[in-house]
Amino acid sequence: MQTTFPRLLLEHARQRPDAPALREKVYGIWQTTSWSQLAALVREIAGGLAAAGLKRDDHLVVVGDNRPRLAATMLATQALGAVPIPLYQDAVAAEFAYPINNAEVAFAVVEDQEQVDKLLELRAQCPQLARLWYDDPRGLRNYNEPGLASLDTLIEQGRAFNQAHPGHFDAELAKAQPQDVAAMFFTSGTTGHPKGVVHTHFTLLDRAKAGADFDRLTEKEEVLAYLPPAWIGQNIFSYAQWLACGYVVNCPESAATVTIDLKEIGPTYYFAPPRVFEGLLTSVMIRMEDASRLKRGLFHHYMALARRIGPALMDGAPVGALDKLRYALGNLLIYGPLRNTLGFSRVRVAYTAGEAIGPDLFTFYRSIGINLKQLYGSTETAVFVCLQPDHEARADTVGVPIAGVEVKLTDSGEILIKSPGLLKEYYKNPQATAEVLDSAGWYHTGDAGFLDAGGHLKIIDRAKDVGKLAGGALFAPKYVENKLKFFPHIKEAVAFGDRRDRVCAFINIDFEAVGNWAEKRNLPYAGYTDLAGKPEVYELVRECIEKVNTDLAADEKLAGCQISRFLILHKELDADDGELTRTRKVRRGHIGEKYQVLLDALYGGKAEQFIETQVKFEDGRTGSVSATLKIVDTKTLPAMKRAA
């Protein structure tokens, strides 16, 4: 699209001034901001930022949940030709230091007291961070810090500035070009410092439009914005596509109310990583276990029917008249109420990405009439590379290349991409840019995969993570980890085996799911560490692992990836402890180093190992968790030869 984000805003305000642009739930009541109100707010914030000294090409940090005034701040920043940088609101203060210093940030707009405290803590490390504004004033009345003020104060100053300089906003807006930098996103990086991915108005809006055209999105869509704004997936769905299409974005009151807000809004277009879909299904299954015997019987009867014919109905395949009638009855009794309970009664298109989704999980949602599909992309590609057409959604692929995208594979199986949505560069990092963008314009994804006969892309693993066992067999850790995480009782898994004689794994149980399972069996426990160490829980996990081993044995290439030994970690892997990225990707190398004593015990044949680990609590305090972990052997199978 040959335009910019602020110009799209003004176009919507001119064509549909009273149509809703954003909604925010405040004290249980949905408040609506129209396109004309939003345009006026953006002008005022831009005036305030200009008065404070924000100039073209400056950087401004935005930290917080999805809030209308933070979205308006990003638009105001872009209107002045400056560059907004959203950062993860759940990150600890120390994680902000590198992006702020790397991008030489002097201005920040944040949501509330929590984020203000983090940035004030960093002032000694980031002396250039001079101006800081907050949206929510609660708890900040008695703060008296230089350069700290409310967003309301900024808006008042903006009104005064605009009155004194009536043509400034429009003059700056007129200078903007589609190829200008629109935003910077810092990757959550599984190793080393995060990298600043630089995107232009054109790259982001071109991919937003391509995705919208693919799924026939219109201004009538309703979207719930509940994922971190610093994640480009959230930014594309609730910012770039929002402005490209003009639909309504709804901001939940808080993380705790998302499930309720989802039901109230009933989005038509929905996006979530697999863990969210897993969590929703887990909550449904837990509630079903507590239901009456009759309700449980009805549920399981109609779900068996749904699994058998639901996906075929979604794909437009022929289904017998009697089965259609039974499914219609199931829809009345089970599927419709279930979709309503989940908040998906109006969903027309739902996407998942970021991690592989389990076949059973994927089939469950499609079988009850939810058009769940997969996509493939990354921060560097402005998300949209491959999407699944409505009648070609499969659990084992990530879709077909969409308009403007070319895909090719290297001899080693690495996926290369050409697309109008590729990053401009990594900020101040020409070496890293040259490593991923070659002279012919191909982006090296670092993912290993292949195109199947139908033109759908299949992802195996990260190319750098695909290794070999000591005996020469292929080792694809992420593939194994994803198969383990398909089980509702396993929340995270970390597989090891590269250049070793066998594969071993660390497991994190899903505390809610396993806790409910334990309670049904009258198995008492005192917290996560105690539950994780129960012999019954080890047996439960061992059964899951041996099912995965059976699946792997049927794959000649990956049969060597079967897990020989495992242990259940005494604590949940946590981004605050450096074990996960902010997008919840496992930092396998860091975990291997941190828990070297456990790895040595797994590969040394020990039956148990004592471990003590330092942890960070939510209030910033540190403590330690210790336990003696059991190590269990699992059954592996010989590779099954395919018939000639």
Q: Is the pLDDT of residue 507 over 50?
A: yes
* Segment 82-92, tens digit of pLDDT: 999 999 999 99
Confidence band (pLDDT; 50, 70, 90) for 606? Answer: very high
* Segment 345-400, tens digit of pLDDT: 999 999 998 777 878 789 999 999 999 999 999 999 999 999 999 999 988 889 99
Q: Is the pLDDT of residue 629 over 60?
A: yes
Could you count the other beta carbons within 10 Å of the beta carbon of residue 214?
Answer: 19
Q: Is the pLDDT of residue 634 over 90?
A: yes
| The CATH number of domain 466-633, selected from 1.10.10.10, 3.30.70.2860, 3.30.300.30, 3.40.50.1010 | 3.30.300.30
Per-residue pLDDT, averaged over 604-629, amounts to 87
Per-residue pLDDT, averaged over 308-325, amounts to 93
Q: How many residues are recorded in the chain?
A: 644
Counting residues of the chain whose pLDDT is more than 90, the rounded percentage is 77
What integer best gives the mean pLDDT of the chain? Answer: 93
Least confident segment among 85-94, 447-456, 619-628 = 619-628
Amino acid at 198: V
DSSP string, 256-277: GGHHHHHHHH--SEEE--HHHH
Q: What is the CA radius of gyration of the chain?
A: 25
Residue spans of the domains in the chain: they are: 5-271, 274-462, 466-633
Q: Is the pLDDT of residue 62 over 70?
A: yes
Burial class (CB in 10 A: 0-12, 13-18, 19+), 539: exposed
Class of domain 5-271 (CATH, top level)? alpha beta
Confidence band (pLDDT; 50, 70, 90) for 307? Answer: very high
Type and span of the H or E element at 206: helix 201-214
Winning range, highest mean pLDDT, from 57-61, 184-188, 637-641: 57-61
* Segment 87-113, tens digit of pLDDT: 999 999 999 999 999 999 999 999 999
Q: Which residue has the higher pLDDT, 472 or 644?
A: 472
Task: Give Cα 175 to chain centroid, integer Å.
Answer: 34
Confidence band (pLDDT; 50, 70, 90) for 643? Answer: very low
Whole-number pLDDT of residue 355: 74
At 226, list the tokens.
């509940």
Task: Give Cα 15 to chain centroid, integer Å.
Answer: 33
The C-alpha atoms of residue 23 and residue 29 are separated, in whole angstroms, by 10
The C-alpha atoms of residue 557 and residue 125 are separated, in whole angstroms, by 50
Class of domain 274-462 (CATH, top level)? alpha beta
Per-residue pLDDT, averaged over 425-446, amounts to 95
Q: Is the pLDDT of residue 121 over 60?
A: yes
Q: Is the pLDDT of residue 192 over 80?
A: no
User: Comparing 5-271 with 274-462, is the CATH topology the same?
Assistant: yes
Q: Which of 500, 496, 463 is nearest to 586 (CA)?
A: 496
